Amino acid sequence: MDISFGKIHDWYLQLNLTLHVDKVNNKSNVCFYKKGEEVKLSPEQIYFVDKGALSFGFKGDERVIGNIVEHMPLGLIERFCPLVELHYHCASDVTISSISHQDFDEIFFETSKEQMKELTTILIYMLVFMFDIHVERRSESGYHIIKSMLTRYLYRRLINADEKEGVASFIIKRTSLSRSYVFRVLAELKKGGYITIKKGKLISIDKTLPGDY
């Protein structure tokens, strides 16, 4: 069963989950952040990324879990489970809209059943994306983790041309693999003609990657 991030994300985008967008925009404040900035959330607000790439992870852990997906409400986890502390980092210039808890509840819980269904769908896909990440990174083989991350990296570059992160950094920040191991595997794959890397960025996967390393 193929539940790759790219396939799930393409399906998610086709759902056109935009019923809430105009309502949020009418009540929101908009903030702009530069690449490299950390975004600190107010405990009284819910946030939506309008443009750009925003990564997140657990506070106190340098590893990145992933990027915020379209329509994913930031601050909702912290609101209902304050034990969880996340950090948010701009992987590109980012535009974010914020609304109060009261406005969020009015839009999603008090407007219509369709609005509640849309929020439920968004939250279900958030969970599916987390399943995908868990499956990808639980592998006992470091090589198989890298193999999967290469496909994820190419898809990320396809949907976000502004993202400039190199492939080695992308893998290292999201896994527990050592820097030397990641560079060694990438160098061997490049030498074997399996992948093309230019200026640190993965350009293409040129043939089927080896089953094992």
- The CATH number linked to 175 is 1.10.10
* Phi, psi (rounded to 5 degrees) for 11: -65, -45
pLDDT of residue 204: 92
* Structural domain range at position 199: 140-205
Domain count, the chain: 2
pTM here is: 0.76
d(CA 204, CA 35): 25
Of 114, 136, 158, which residue sits at a domain end?
136
Low-confidence ranges of the chain (pLDDT < 50): none
Same domain? For 161 and 77 the reply is no
pLDDT of residue 134: 79
Q: Which residue, among 53, 91, 100, has the nearest Cα to 72 in the 3D structure?
A: 53
Contact 53, 90 (CB under 8 A): yes
* Phi, psi (rounded to 5 degrees) for 176: -100, 10
pLDDT of residue 34: 95
The overall longest dimension of the chain from CA atoms, in Å, is 58
| Both structure tokens of 189 | 């794959």
Length of the chain, in residues: 213
Same domain? For 70 and 174 the reply is no
The answer to the question of residue 213 being in a domain is no
The answer to the question of residue 98 being in a domain is yes
